[in-house]
Amino acid sequence: MKFAMLGAALGIWILSALVCEGTADHHEGHHSGAQDTAADSSVPAVISANKQFAFHLYKKLSAHADTQGKNIFFSPRSVSVALAALSAGARGETQTQLHSSLGFNNSQLTQTDVDRAFHTLLERSNEMSPEDTNEGTAVFVDQRFKPHAEFLDVLKQSYFAEGFNVDFTKTTESANTINKYVSDKTHGKIEKLVESLDQNTVMYLISYIYFKGKWATPFEPQLTKEDIFNVDENKKVPVKMMNMEDSFETYYDVSINTSVLHLPFNSSYSMLLLLPDDMATLENAICPGHVTKWLKWMRPRRYDISVPKFSIKSSYSLNDMLIQMGMTDMFGDRANLTGISEGQKLAVSEVVHQATLDVDEAGATATAATGIGITLMSFQHIPVLKFNRPFMVVIIERNAGDYLFMGRIMNPAAE
């Protein structure tokens, strides 16, 4: 059976699921990040590029007409993984555009360097408990299509890809196969990634990440209560507000009028919550340098904090934003993906990203003593940090400093 003369479609799906919770069972995180980084000089350069790309893509998402006034949540790490894997099969100007837009300086980082760095990052991530972290890629190849063995080998060795043969002419059956795989990898958080498939599709590349963060100090469920979240001057919504009084690392950035709260997980990951006086000011100014500064200068102090309990899902077609960032050729007739296959003219049809975020307190079995000293300290002034208006979220890996997830919560009660 011959493909359409205009070329075969290559789709890229990027999906993420994040659960933040507290439980009694504590797993030790993988703490050899510094040694791994030292052993591979390409890793710091790729991480630095990932950080710049993360904020670049965030600003494109926040400026998009479809996201105005809405929650945003995505995994810049997962997007970088998928596009880096694609660049292994790109050649010429198409690869140059991918590398440039991802922040990989061609004079410093070859494709081999990029592949090696992502192998290290993914290996490090997956050495944590598989119940907590699951990250990798998958490629679904039509049985009529024969990609280069070298390309598939790079995907397998560097990006931990699993390969599957499917018949994309049987669109419903193929969609069901992919959806089941996605659901399994994200522990049911993303159940239906694929609604429909183009019969011209010959390959789908999927990047996934599932992260279940257990708070180092869980919130106590009995302290969670109904409260009000101020979406804007005119809109208020009810939320379940978690509460804790304890010593927290915080920083107030006077240059952008933003309070920063550091909530560590009991692994090498942490959540940074950013509470700005004005969201637009924060979004326009924020860059990797801010995060580096906050982590360096944060100091512990006793606070009474309140954080809403919420669950959000997001789905984006990233085509327009990636084109704006310079990845123009891969979507059209000028696409050079001959590193994947030379037998058929290929182009990327769509880059789709889905992500979920669930934030809650400790489960009923958790053991935590967060109430210590409340009565004794009742006569002291305990500053309050209450996330009852729009805020940003960044999930970081503390050893390497890479960003796994990023977003803003404009309305925690929104679907």
What CA–CA distance (Å, rounded) separates 73 from 134? 18
Q: Is the pLDDT assigned to residue 86 strictly greater than 80?
A: yes
Highest mean pLDDT: which range of 3-12, 339-348, 386-395: 386-395
pLDDT in tens, 34-72: 434 333 678 889 999 999 999 999 999 998 878 888 888
Rg of the Cα trace of the chain? 22
More confident residue, 214 or 87: 87
Residue 355 forms beta bridges with which residues?
Answer: 16, 314
Cβ atoms 224, 361 nearer than 8 A: yes
User: What pLDDT does 346 receive?
Assistant: 79
Both structure tokens of 134? 């699951």
CB-neighbour burial class of residue 319 (10 A; exposed 0-12, middle 13-18, buried 19+): middle
Burial of 332 (0-12, 13-18, 19+ CB in 10 A): exposed
pLDDT at 188: 79
DSSP for 50-102 reads HHHHHHHHHHHHHHSGGGTTS-EEE-HHHHHHHHHHHHTT--HHHHHHHHHHH
Nearest to 174 by CA among 201, 208, 149: 201
Strands 236-253 and 225-230: antiparallel
Q: CA neighbours within 13 Å on the CB side: how many for 44? A: 8
Residue 383, pLDDT above cutoff 80: yes
Q: How many CA atoms lie within 13 A of 127 on its CB side?
A: 14
Q: Which residues contact 215 (CB under 8 A, 6 or more apart)?
A: 20, 21, 22, 263, 264, 265, 266, 361, 362
Q: What is d(CA 16, CA 74) in angstroms, rounded to the nearest whole number?
A: 7
Name every residue whose Cβ is closer than 8 Å to that of residue 71 and which is 6 or more positions away in sequence. Answer: 312, 314, 407, 408, 409, 410, 411, 412, 414
Name 213's bridge partners: 20
* pLDDT value for 31: 37
Q: pLDDT (tens digit, 9 = 90+) per residue, 251-280?
A: 999 999 999 999 988 777 888 999 999 999
Residues 66 and 189: their CA atoms lie apart, in Å, by 23
Contact 365, 23 (CB under 8 A): yes
pLDDT in the model for residue 99: 94
Q: Around Cβ 235, how many Cβ atoms within 10 Å? A: 11
pLDDT digit string, tens, across residues 308-334: 988 877 888 888 899 999 999 988 888
The pLDDT of residue 343 is 72
Is the pLDDT at 165 greater than 90, yes or no?
no
Domains of the chain and any CATH numbers: 8-213+312-358 (3.30.497.10), 215-308+362-409 (2.30.39.10)
3-class SS at 25?
Answer: coil
What is the Cα–Cα distance from 162 to 128, expressed in whole angstroms?
19
d(CA 210, CA 132): 8
Provide DSSP, 303-358. Answer: EEEEEEEEEEEEEEE-HHHHHHTT--GGGSTT---TTT-SSS-EEEEEEEEEEEEE
Range 229-233 average pLDDT: 90
Q: Other CB atoms closer than 10 Å to residue 196's CB: what's the count?
A: 7
pLDDT tens for residues 203-213? 787 777 777 77
pLDDT reported for residue 75: 86
Residue 357 has pLDDT above 70, yes or no: yes
User: What distance, in Å, lies between the first and last C-alpha atoms of the chain?
Assistant: 43
Q: Is the pLDDT at 185 greater than 70, yes or no? A: yes
- Buried residues in 282-302 as b, exposed as e (16+ CB within 10 A): bbeebebebbeebbeebeeee
pLDDT value for 266: 73
Give pLDDT, residue 28: 35
Interval 95-145: pLDDT, tens: 999 999 999 876 678 999 999 999 998 888 777 655 566 777 788 888 878
Which whole number is the average pLDDT over 142-167? 86
> Percent of the chain, pLDDT > 70?
83
What interhelical angle do 76-87 and 111-126 show, nearest 10?
Answer: 140
Phi, then psi, of 87 in degrees rounded to 5:
-65, -20
Angle of helix 92-102 relative to helix 42-63, nearest 10 degrees? 80
pTM score: 0.84
Q: Measured in whole angstroms, how far is the alpha carbon of residue 115 from the centre of its chain?
A: 19
